[in-house]
């Protein structure tokens, strides 16, 4: 069943939502206030890098099932469902800044011409569904047409940058929450092609639909991200212990992951998590708990461990090179993860800032990042091998698969020193050592032979 959908806000989430809903057969209008973004979107081009998204946008625009506008009435007036996908950046107190959501909800309320289901796709504080209803009501009373009405649904997103299209079209689950059962039925129809995988490219796995109330759906998103972030912080804590006792965290993770109660996913030792979600969502959940007088010891510890983990690379460099003043350090990878150009809360940005403050000279490469705002002292190079030129050390901070094809011996030949710090445990230590480099991973024991006792 084809539905008419409006998507308000076309950032990382909204653009993917709009393109994917058009892909499965709905009529979609994206509402975008930024003129530059709007012009790009109308050409079928995303204003950021996400693998496969430009092709999907272009397909939707060419086919006539996806268009973009700056006019709220054009986007909302005749639609069945409105998805709010505007940003909710963290404020100084850790709570999400809801200014953009307020503005979007006001615009939507003023543009309503019939009954609409308003869906919060952005990550909003727990309890925001009722607040949102009040904002829309006020706008509807002031500017809406007679007979207009609405219901509110929470539909949290679980998209990973770099694989957002696959995550949306082939999700592990779809969560919808509302105090209006009829509104839940409408949103379930929106997702029907995805739930049945009844679209070109659908696979055999039909994801479950979780129906619940507003507050529970809002909490599910925070709970999911908080758990994943805590899992990563836990294994980084363990990696730091492994380094001190002579254990190898790679083997520890393999053995732990064989236990189905634990699983190996997200047991990824390294320089810590980043991006726009984990830190923001943990801070918001901590702030929410504090409003109700509850101390979130585990969540605060996860945040602390992650912040400390970013210092490990600098500490390793200092252990080998002593003073970093005048030292040349090459950086491989800048984005917070592969498959995206997003630098928000990227560990690399924090680590590079520390290196510059210590007097180091930094060259960096990333396959898609082309500029580093606020880090003018960094020289960006076009080829990964160029970061090694006269370098005292090379540090890998983003596990782009392209880096696995590097000529490590050639890398070493261009260096002044021989230190290779693998901040994501991407490389085999023995392979790096054979290239004449001194290998330092996170929680690894490069000197011993790996024994696959469970193979």
Q: Where are the beta strands (DSSP E) in 237-367?
A: 328-332, 361-365
Dihedral angle over CA of 250, 254, 256, 258, nearest 10: 180
Q: Determine whether 79 is an active site residue.
A: no
Q: What are phi and psi of 266, to 5 degrees?
A: 70, 10
The DSSP element (H or E) to which 115 belongs, if any, is strand 115-120
The DSSP element (H or E) to which 258 belongs, if any, is none
Encoded tokens for 102: 């307020």
Contact call for residues 440 and 453 (beta carbons, < 8 A): no
Nearest to 199 by CA among 3, 1, 56, 24: 24
Encoded tokens for 371: 């500029």
Look-up of token digits 């909490």? 219
Encoded tokens for 317: 């460099």
Which distant-in-sequence residues (6+ apart) come within 8 Å of 384 by Cβ?
332, 365, 402, 403, 406
Give the end-to-end CA distance of the chain in Å, rounded to a whole number.
49
- Given 20, 85, 242, 277, which residue is catalytic? 277
Question: What gap in Å lies between CA 41 and CA 358, rounded to an integer?
Answer: 42
Question: What gap in Å lies between CA 77 and CA 148, rounded to an integer?
Answer: 10
Encoded tokens for 290: 């504090």
Question: What gap in Å lies between CA 106 and CA 16, rounded to an integer?
Answer: 23
Classify burial at 186, counting beta carbons within 10 Å of its beta carbon; exposed 0-12, middle 13-18, buried 19 or more. buried
Encoded tokens for 235: 């294994």
Question: What gap in Å lies between CA 365 and CA 368, rounded to an integer?
Answer: 9
Question: What gap in Å lies between CA 277 and CA 269, rounded to an integer?
Answer: 19
Classify burial at 86, counting beta carbons within 10 Å of its beta carbon; exposed 0-12, middle 13-18, buried 19 or more. buried
Nearest to 164 by CA among 43, 276, 25, 1: 276
Question: What gap in Å lies between CA 35 and CA 447, rounded to an integer?
Answer: 56
Total length of the chain: 455
Which residues are known catalytic residues?
Answer: 277
């Amino acid at each position: 069943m084809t539905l008419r959908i409006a998507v308000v806000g076309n950032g990382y989430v909204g653009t993917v939502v709009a393109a994917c809903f058009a892909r499965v057969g709905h009529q979609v209008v994206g509402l975008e206030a930024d003129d530059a973004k709007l012009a790009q979107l109308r050409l079928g081009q995303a204003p950021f890098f996400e693998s496969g998204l430009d092709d999907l946008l272009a397909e939707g625009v060419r086919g006539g099932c996806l268009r973009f506008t700056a006019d709220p009435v054009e986007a909302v007036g005749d639609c069945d469902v409105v998805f709010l996908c505007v940003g909710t950046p963290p404020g100084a107190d850790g709570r999400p800044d809801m200014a953009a959501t307020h503005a979007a909800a006001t615009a939507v309320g003023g543009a309503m011409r019939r009954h609409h289901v308003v869906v919060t796709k952005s990550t909003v504080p727990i309890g925001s569904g009722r607040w949102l209803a009040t904002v829309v009501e006020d706008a509807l009373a002031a500017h809406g047409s007679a007979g207009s009405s609405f219901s509110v649904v929470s539909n949290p997103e679980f998209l990973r940058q770099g694989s957002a299209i696959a995550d949306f079209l082939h999700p592990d689950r779809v969560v919808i929450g509302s105090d209006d059962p009829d509104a839940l039925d409408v949103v379930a129809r929106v997702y029907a092609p995805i739930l049945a995988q009844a679209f070109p490219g659908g696979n055999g796995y039909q994801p479950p639909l979780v129906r619940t109330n507003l507050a529970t759906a809002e909490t599910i998103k925070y709970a999911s991200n908080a758990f994943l972030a805590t899992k990563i912080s836990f294994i980084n804590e363990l990696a730091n212990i492994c380094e001190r006792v002579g254990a190898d965290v790679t083997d520890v993770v393999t053995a732990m992951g064989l236990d189905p109660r634990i699983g190996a996913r997200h047991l990824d030792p390294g320089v810590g998590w980043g991006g726009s979600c984990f830190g923001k969502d943990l801070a918001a959940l901590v702030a929410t708990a504090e409003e109700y007088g509850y101390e979130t010891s585990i969540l605060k510890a996860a945040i602390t461990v992650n912040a400390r983990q970013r210092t490990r690379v600098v500490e390793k460099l200092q252990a080998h090179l002593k003073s970093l003043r005048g030292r040349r350090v090459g950086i491989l990878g800048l984005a917070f993860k592969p498959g995206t150009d997003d630098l928000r809360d990227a560990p690399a940005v924090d680590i590079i800032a520390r290196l510059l403050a210590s007097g180091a000279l930094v060259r960096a490469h990333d396959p898609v990042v082309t500029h580093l705002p606020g880090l003018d002292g960094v020289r960006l190079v076009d080829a990964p091998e160029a970061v090694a030129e006269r370098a005292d050390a090379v540090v890998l901070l983003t596990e782009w698969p392209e880096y696995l094809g590097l000529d490590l011996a050639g890398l070493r030949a261009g260096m002044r020193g021989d230190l290779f710090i693998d901040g994501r445990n991407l490389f085999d230590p023995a392979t790096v050592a054979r290239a004449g480099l001194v290998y330092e991973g996170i929680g690894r024991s490069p000197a011993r032979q790996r024994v696959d006792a469970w193979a």
